[in-house]
Structures are given as C-alpha cells and as structure tokens.
Structure 1
Amino acid sequence: MTATDDLFAAEPAARTGTLVGYGRVSTRDQILDRQTRALEEAGCIRVFTDKLSGKNTDRPELSACLDYLRPGDTLVVLALDRLSRSLQDLITIVAELRRREIGFRSLHEALDTTTPGGRLIFHVFAALAEFIRELIVEGTNEGLAAARARGQRLGRPPALTPEQVEHARHLLTNPTATVTSIAKLLGVSRSTLYKHVPELRSTGARELTT
C-alpha cells in the first residue's frame, strides 16, 4: 500500500475522540505558550512540545507523541510547519498515522484527515510530492546525459592523470627508483600506482621500500 492509499484509507469504525497535541519552536529562546494554549483550547488532553529546528531529524517529543497515540485518536498541530520538515516528511507522517487509524488535524490550515475533504487535500499533497520528486530525477538524468554528450567526465576524478601515469612509467626506467619513492613523488599510495600501472605486478617491480 502506498502513502497515497493510506491517506484515502477508511476511518476506524469507532473514534475515541481523544485529541493529542504537538507543538514546536525552532530555538530555545522562542516561547511555546501560544501553541500550547491553542492546542488545549482545541480540546487536546495532552500536548507534547519540542524546542528544535524543523530540520532536526531527532525530535524526541514528537517520537513520544507518536508512541502515545492509539487507534481512534487524533493528532492536532497549530500549523503544518510545526510538524514536518518538508512536504515529503508531512506526507510520510500523516500516511503512517492513517495506517495506524489515527486522525490528523492542523488548526491553522483547517485540515482534518477524519473528513473526506481533508483526505482529498492530503491526496493532492502526496501526488504533488511525487510529481516534484520525479521532476528532480528527470532533471538530474537530463543533466548527466548532457554532460556525457559534451564529453565531460562524471564521477570522482582519477587519482592519476594520463600524464602522471606516463611520468611514473618513465621514472621506473631509472634503476635507482622504487615504487614507494615514485608513489610519494606523485602524492599517491603504492596501491593507487599499481592500479594505474598494472604492468608493475607482472614485470617484477622493484622493492616496495626505499
């Protein structure tokens, strides 16, 4: 079942009517009082709060809130950006709530997944998130194809350029040169030198120590 399917899933046969709130501010200097008060006035019996940036993936109180919720409950937030770090994050959280038969309500946006209209809006959100993801993938692939067409090398640059490889081969004609000394001169490891000059292994290269 996809996230979109979860958002359209039927409501549980019996709702508990229990509302649980979650609030968040970005820094410890900001005050949570307004969010907490609004959530309590909306009927939340308990409110969990984090003082963390929305980009922080470790939100302990949100995790505790999600663990606290039971089928038939509804999670309430003041606004969507208080819950999620991105549109995709929002879709993921709400889809998981739906899978667990838990409702979701955002007071500021007047969204409520316990209603058909609210589920429809989140279905549109999910479709939009997927569309954006596909555009990013398509754009990346087109950019890579264009770079290849221009002859541009993709990926990590080689440890040794062709000129350096030829220089290494020339140095090895010196009877006093060793693999180790040449590797140090070129600023690479001995294994890298062997990788770019593989014939060293088959021709009995000089001692690896200086």
Structure 2
Amino acid sequence: MTRLAGYTRELASGAGTSADAEQLARAGAAPVFADEELAGARRSPGLQECLEFLEPGDTLLVTSAAILAPTVPQFLRAMSDIAGRGAGFRSLSEPALSARVGVAADPAEVFAALEALRRRLVSLQTQAGMASAASEGRRPGRPTVMTPERIAMAVELRNLGRPVTHIARVLGVSANAVQRALASTPAAEPTQRL
C-alpha cells in the first residue's frame, strides 16, 4: 500500500508552516511533518522523522523543493536518501523535480528546474541575511565614504558657496557622494563673500 506523506518547514522567519500543511493535506498527504523554526539541514527533526516514516513505494510530497533543503547539494542528498528508501518525491510547484520509482524524467527539464531551485534558495538565503543584519542594526551594502566629519566639512564649504566639484576634490571623494550627503542635510544660507 502506497502512502503520501507531506513535509514542510518555515522558509522565512515568522512565516509559519500552517498554509503549506493545509495545502499538502488537500493534496492527499497524511501525515504532514513540519519543522516550525528556521533550521539548517542538520537540525530538521521533522524531516528526519518524515524520512524514517517513508517505506518503499511511499511518496514524499512538498509544496516546493526549496522546503526540502537550504542548498541544491543538500537537496540532491535528500533526494538520494528518499530514492534509497525506495520512495518517490513530488513537488507541487516544480513537477520536473518530482521523482517516482521506475519513471524517468527529461534531463533538460530537471536541470532547468534545479537551476530555478538554486536561484530561489540563494534569494531566500540573501533575504534571511538581510533580515538578520537589519535586526542587529546593520545596513547591507557598501559603507558610505561620507563620514560625519566629511559631511560637516562639506556643509561648511557649501555654505561658503563652493561648487560640489571643489568640495569633492578637497574631501577626496566623488561629486556624487558629496551631492547625496548634502541632499540629506538641511540647507543653510550661503555666507556672503567680502
């Protein structure tokens, strides 16, 4: 007797798994295993429990292949583990990555789906990294060259009526950096020259 088991995990902090679990249940998965907290592939007790539940002929159902593992190599290892148990795999959103026992897939479709999966996983990791940096008060991207001291000097030179190119040359930065810094500071009346 073949069974359809579902698995889901939280892909983004606070996203939860209830919507995926409901979708898997509607697709016929019973039981549905879940990992509620963001976790790496090594700390996924729900996935481990799900894999131990699978028997030959069963199928593991997920809403997206990205749920199975955080990287493509880990996804491929999980697929190998599933196949080693004699079970199949089915993704609702990436049918090309679905694998049934004894059914061959078109390699071109599989490679295209793996590349799309890789891009999605990189995007998820980038979003998680940016959220982590924001929670620690850090801003992603290059640090600005306009330190508070340089901004104060630029404002002083602007108030003396100096052009942006002159200010940039004095400070040793680009004119664009000076313009951005001056745009974010309040304008003062230029000092009259004698």
TM-score (norm 1): 0.47
| Structure 1 contact 69–102 (Cα < 8 Å) conserved | yes
* Structure-2 change in CA distance of 1:59 and 1:94 (3 Å): same
Q: Report the Cα offset of residue 110 of structure 1.
A: 1.7
Return the structure number with greater relative CO, CA threshold 8 A, min gap 6. 1
Percent of aligned positions that are identical: 26
Contact kept, 8 Å, 1:80 with 1:106, in 2: the verdict is yes
The answer on 1:117 being equivalent to 2:105 is yes
CA distance in 2, matches of 1:75, 1:17: 11
Q: Which amino acid aligns with 2:33?
A: F
Kindly indicate whether residue 10 of structure 2 is the aligned counterpart of residue 22 of structure 1. no
1:96 CA displacement: 1.4
Partners of 1:89 and 1:99 lie apart in 2 by 15
**Could you tell me which residue of structure 2 aligns to residue 52 of structure 1?**
37
Pairwise CA distance, 1:68: 0.7
Unaligned runs of 5+ in 1: 1-15, 129-210
The separation in 1 between residues aligned to 2:35 and 2:11, in whole angstroms, is 8
Q: Please, what TM-score do these two structures have when normalized by structure 2?
A: 0.51
1:82 to 55, 64, 67: 67
Is contact 2:54–2:85 with CA below 8 Å preserved after alignment? no
Question: Using the alignment, how far apart are the partners of 2:109 and 2:77 within structure 1?
Answer: 15
CA shift, 1:120, in A, is 7.2
* Cα distance change, pair 119–19 in 1 and its aligned pair in 2 (3 A): farther
The answer as to whether partners of 2:13 and 2:38 remain within 8 angstroms in 1 is no
Q: Distance in 1 between matches of 2:32 and 2:63?
A: 11
Once the 2 structures are TM-superposed, how far is the Cα of residue 54 of structure 1 from its aligned partner?
Answer: 4.9
Report Cα offsets for 1:78-125 as digits up to 9, x if no partner: 001111110000100101111211100110112420142277755x48
For 2:57 and 2:32, locate their aligned partners in 1 and report how far apart those are by CA, in whole Å.
17
Contact 1:113–1:119 under 8 Å retained in 2: no
The alignment yields a C-alpha RMSD, in angstroms, of 2.5
Larger-Rg structure: 1
Contact residue 54 and residue 82 of structure 1 kept, 8 A: no
Contact 1:27–1:52, Cα closer than 8 Å, also in 2 = no
Q: Which residue of 2 aligns with 1:107?
A: 92
Give 3-state SS (helix, strand or coil) of 1:104's partner.
strand
Q: CA deviation at 1:30?
A: 2.3
Shift of 1:28: 6.3
* Runs (5+) with no aligned partner, structure 2: 116-194
Alignment of 1:1-210 (within 5 A): 16-26=1-11, 29-55=14-40, 57-111=42-96, 112-114=98-100, 115-117=103-105, 121-122=109-110, 124=111
Deviation at 1:77, TM superposition (A): 0.5
Per the TM alignment, residue 74 of structure 1 is displaced from its structure 2 partner at its CA by 0.4
| Matched length | 111
